[in-house]
Structure 1
Amino acid sequence: MTVVTHGVRGRRGRAALLLVLGGLLSGCGPAPAPAQSAPAEERPFWQDEFDGAADTRPAERFWTTETGNRDAEGWGNNELQYYTDDAANSALDGAGHLDISARPAAEGSELPCYTQEFCTWTSARLTTEGKVALTHGRVEIRAKMPTGTGLLPAIWMLGDNGVEWPGQGEIDICEVVGAEPRTVYGTAHGPTYFNENGIGGSTTLPADASQAFHTYAVDKQPRRITWSVDGEPYFTLTPSKLPAPSDWVFEQDMHLLLNVAVGGDWPGAPDATTPSPATMTVDHVRFYGEGHA
């Protein structure tokens, strides 16, 4: 796994098994030790394993589905997708996964778009805002990410401090942009470091991100944030790496977002090679440490 650090554009449990061998002459030995559960700090305080029937929506007590495009000014990046709450764009698959799918809009759908009259793609954007948040600890998401020209799937967090972005604070746990199918970007945005001045790093997967599940994670501790893929850290941010230490805005609750964007400032426009549907398949989401759910 290759690691690069730079500024970029973007916005265990554990099981124990004890084997006791003894009494070979008598054929007797001590009773097996009871199984040990994981320490509390290694058990998630919130998780979603996406169990449920196929074509059902993710649990509303955890997730809100945001919709639209034009009124959100292309979601801030001149994006071409219209987010819907249709099962075609976000639903459980019946096998323990959540699918978030971008697909061409139906002919004649006339979905209002910011950069053109109508959006030519639909997709979904799910958030735990107001329902689940992480204060300090680790968030991990096991997922397959769609790849292809014009796509920008993202797993990210926003702050709950009520301040307008970028002062709100943003942590991009994983972004896979356009035609870079093996590159994972992790970035932080704040008051004086945002958009192309966001501070973060990237790492290279052994194969296209759409070919296998990977665990994308952030360890969010006081005055320190570390990004990792499959348990391998690739970038750590501390206040000393910011334009000014006072620009650190991450000592707060932050909620999670999952979405697949199409088009926009970073990935560029989709073309005839863009897969349809383009699906982010999420196996689980888990929060460890401190927060609320």
Structure 2
Amino acid sequence: MRKVLAFAVVATATLGIGFAGTTVKAAEPAQNIDISKMKVNWSDEFNGTELNSDHWTPEIGNGNWGWGNNEKEYYRANNISVSDGTMKIKAQTEKVGSYNWTSGRIKSAGKVNIGYGYVEARIKIPSSQGIWPAFWMLGTNGKTWPACGEIDIMEAFNTRSDIQSTIHYPKWNGADQYVYTNRNISNKTEWHTYGCYRDGSICAFYIDGKLLTSYGTWTNKFVRITDFAETYSTADLTTGNYAGQRSVLNDDYYLLFNVACGGNLAQGNPPTNSDWSATMEVDYVRYYVPKTADELAQDKKNEVNKKDADKNTTIVTAPARAKIKTLKNVKKRKMQIKLAKVSGAKGYQIRYCDNKKFQGYSVKNIKKTKVTIKKLDKKETYWVKARAYKVVNGSKKYGAWSKVKKVKIKK
């Protein structure tokens, strides 16, 4: 995010590790991130109604030199909100002092640090003239930028259809060295996940869980990416075009989200009409770390146990719908009920009542298909329904109720 870049595509980048002229192999990253071998170390799901102050601090104002980027907005806490499960940063036309726009910027500095592992956010970004939304990280080593290092996981500019990912580290003379790439996506303004993986050997970027490398060749000596260069070795490089202290990318980092207005890469300023606004939404941000060997072993054991349990589980379906074959009044205030036999049923439940809504009903459980119910009220009409049941692990599993039938007690 903090950079002064000319717009150019990094067409070819050699991502080898150089020590005194010796090139060594960089580890190959996964083409698809596998979070099943990781666990969530920290997350913010943005499920409340306000920003979690244990995780985030809003940054206010315009910083030094427009936050080092010649930005034109004034950041305010009021432009940040949490509702309906997402965090929202709203840029808008609003006059504050000499500034024509306000927006929001938050950081986790001093509260949440990201180390080795995988950090990912699900984000919906806007597309508008003169804006620069970003999800990025700055190093926590206490040094002045660029010596602290910077990792830009997601940046988008203006109405362009591409997403940019960038690493910053200090050259040996202390100046900023950066390597970046752009990826066009056809649906930039829809929900996507943007992530960064680091393990002390590489830094790799992902969109929707897929490695941001269009094509490239891995060899025993180095990685040559001829189109995109989202995968970087994090070892120091003493010679060549990209020489510098890249190992700063292995430090702990803190997180930032913001929507800049104007600035070095926004390609102009936003509209000045009073009803203009652009909002970035964040569904969640999660930091995963690798599971321990014991945790992976337990996962495997649980999977085996589940498969064994599934094999030994008998799926019991509910019995078929019951049917009342006959319902009639017999002498001395009795009614006789005969049911059709239901295959596999262990018994039947009869429900009867003196009103058709079955308010204040009585219940009779039977094992056979025929029953006589006594002591009914003479000259009263009774409504009756029945259902069959099976017994599963000591509990009854009922089928559907039969159609309701009625009988009047005449004798």
SS of 1:77's equivalent? Answer: helix
- 1:145 equivalenced with 2:125 (yes/no): yes
Does the CA-based 8 Å contact 1:200-1:237 persist in structure 2?
no
Counterparts of 1:177-192 in structure 2, within 5 Å, are: 177-180=157-160, 182-192=161-171
Unaligned runs of 5+ in 1: 15-37, 111-117
Q: Which residue of 2 aligns with 1:77?
A: 69
Whether the aligned pair in 1 keeps the contact of 2:93 and 2:272 (CA below 8 Å) is: no
Q: CA deviation at 1:205?
A: 1.1
Corresponding position: 1:279 with 2:279: yes
Structure 2 residue 111 is matched with structure 1 residue 131: yes
Counterpart of 2:80 in structure 1: which amino acid? S
Q: Which residue of structure 2 lines up, in the alignment, with residue 289 of structure 1?
A: 289
Q: How far 1:96 sits from its partner (Å)? A: 0.4
For 1:6 and 1:227, the matched residues in 2 are separated by 17
RMSD: 2.7
Report the more deviating stretch, 254-263 or 239-248. Answer: 239-248
Look up the match of 1:227: 205
Q: Which letter maps to 1:224?
A: I
* RCO comparison, higher one (Cα < 8 Å, 6+): 1
Query: Segments of 4+ in structure 1 off by > 3 A?
Result: 4-7, 193-197, 239-242, 271-275
Letter aligned with residue 101 of structure 1: K
TM-score, normalising length: structure 2: 0.54
Deviation at residue 104 of structure 1 after TM alignment: 0.9
User: Contact conserved, 2:45 with 2:285, CA < 8 A, in 1?
Assistant: yes
Larger mean CA deviation between 216-225 and 265-274 belongs to: 265-274
Distance 1:219 1:6, change over 3 A: farther
Q: Are 1:64 and 1:127, in contact at CA under 8 Å, matched by a contact in 2?
A: yes
Q: Which residue of 1 aligns with 2:258?
A: 259
1:217 aligns with 2:204: no
- Mapped contact 2:168–2:176 kept (Cα < 8 A): no
CA distance in 2, matches of 1:161, 1:98: 28
- For the residue of structure 2 that corresponds to 1:227, the secondary structure is strand
- The verdict on how the C-alpha distance between 1:13 and 1:252 changes in structure 2, with shifts beyond 3 A counting, is closer
Equivalent position SS for 2:170: coil
Q: SS of 1:44's equivalent? A: strand
The one-letter code matched in structure 2 to 1:140 is: E
Is 1:157 the counterpart of 2:156? The answer is: no
What is the rounded CA distance, in whole Å, between the counterparts of 1:273 and 1:215 in structure 2? 31
Q: Which moved more, 1:236-245 or 1:147-156?
A: 236-245
Q: Does 1:199 align with 2:212?
A: no
1:168–1:242: structure 2 CA closer, same or farther, 3 Å change rule? farther
The two structures have a TM-score, normalised by structure 1, of 0.75
Query: Which residue of structure 1 lines up, in the alignment, with residue 61 of structure 2?
Result: 68
Alignment-mate amino acid for residue 76 of structure 2: T
- Change beyond 3 A, Cα 1:79–1:242: same
SS at match of 1:250: helix
Quote how far apart the aligned CAs of 1:267 are. 1.2
2:217 matched residue in structure 1: none
Counterpart AA for 1:85: A
| CA–CA distance in structure 2, aligned partners of residues 279 and 269 of structure 1 | 18
User: Which amino acid letter does the alignment assign opposite residue 186 of structure 1?
Assistant: S
Aligned match of 1:90 in 71, 80, 85? Answer: 80
- Counterpart residue identity of residue 51, structure 2: P
Alpha-carbon contact 1:242-1:248 (below 8 Å) kept: no
Structure 1 position 179, deviation (Å): 2.7
- Is the counterpart of residue 99 in structure 1 residue 99 in structure 2? no
Gap change, CA 1:230 and 1:273, over 3 Å in 2: farther
- What secondary structure sits across from 2:152 in the alignment? strand
Point out where structure 2 has 5 or more consecutive residues left out of the alignment: 1-8, 13-31, 213-229, 291-411
Aligned to 1:58: 51
Shift of 1:229: 0.4
Structure number, greater radius of gyration: 2
Residue in 1 that maps onto 2:302: none
Residues 134 and 259, structure 2, Cα contact 8 Å, conserved in 1: yes
* 2:204 maps to amino acid: T
| Amino acid in the other structure paired with 1:66 | E
The whole-number CA distance in structure 1 between the counterparts of 2:33 and 2:197 is 15
Distance apart, 1:271 and its partner CA? 4.4
Asked if structure 1 preserves the Cα contact closer than 8 Å seen for 2:171 and 2:244, the reply is no
Percent sequence identity over matched residues?
34
Quick one: which amino acid aligns to residue 201 of structure 1? T
Whole-Å Cα distance in 2 between the matches of residues 231 and 96 of structure 1?
A: 21
Structure 1 pair 145–161 and aligned structure 2 pair: CA distance change class (3 A):
same
Superposed displacement of residue 243, structure 1? 2.3
Shift of 1:42: 2.1
Q: Per-residue deviation at 1:5?
A: 5.0
C-alpha displacement at 1:273, in angstroms? 8.9
Alpha-carbon deviation of 1:97? Answer: 0.3
